[in-house]
Structures are given as C-alpha cells and as structure tokens.
C-alpha cells in the first residue's frame, strides 16, 4: 500500500470515528434527558405526598380586643352554654 493510499485510508478511518462519535452524542443526550425526567418525576411525587408540620411559637402576649358580632344573638351564646348544648338538650 502506497503512503498516499495509506494516508487516505487513515483519513477515512478518522472520519468514520468522528462520524460515529457525533452519532453517539444524541443518544447520550437522550439517555441523560430520560434520566433527569425520571428524577424529576420522583421529586414531584415526593412533594405531592409530603407532609408539613408547622410549629407555632408565641411571640408575646397580645391583648385580646373584643369585636362587634354581626348578629346580636351571638353575644348571648357563651362557651358554657355551647358546651351544655353538646351534652344534650337543656
């Protein structure tokens, strides 16, 4: 094989290797996208089924301000009266 032919064959081999590498890249990217989509789905499920447990910490003693009730008869209902109603009719 002459050096010119060998050089041409060598150039073709390099060209084929580069072509194969370029053709493999979209497959690698698709595989990576599928993997990331799977991870995203797992994280979405974890968020969807997560439970929040709030902790309330008193800041200080806030004064309780009486508020006007929208119906006068509401002021006649006291806690004791309501608790008495839950135990049966009076």
13 neighbors 7 (Cβ within 8 angstroms): no
Where exactly are the structural domains of the chain? 1-52
| Residue 2 confidence (pLDDT) | 62
Interval 14-55: pLDDT, tens:
677 787 777 888 889 999 999 999 999 999 999 888 888 888
pLDDT at 90 (0 to 100): 47
Rounded to two decimals, the pTM is 0.40
pLDDT in tens, 56-88: 887 777 777 777 777 777 777 776 676 676 555
The half-sphere exposure of 87 on its side-chain side, counting CA atoms within 13 A, is 7
Tokens of 76: 């006649």
Rounded CA separation 42/26 (Å) = 24
With 70 as the cut, is the pLDDT of residue 6 above it? no
């Amino acid at each position: 094989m002459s050096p010119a032919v060998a050089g041409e064959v060598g150039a073709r081999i390099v060209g084929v290797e580069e072509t194969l590498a370029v053709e493999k890249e979209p497959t690698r990217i698709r595989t990576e996208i599928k993997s990331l989509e799977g991870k995203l789905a797992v994280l979405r499920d974890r968020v969807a089924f997560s439970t929040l447990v709030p902790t309330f910490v008193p800041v200080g003693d806030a004064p309780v301000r009486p508020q006007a009730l929208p119906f006068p008869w509401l002021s006649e209902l006291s806690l004791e009266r309501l608790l008495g109603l839950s135990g049966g009719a009076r």
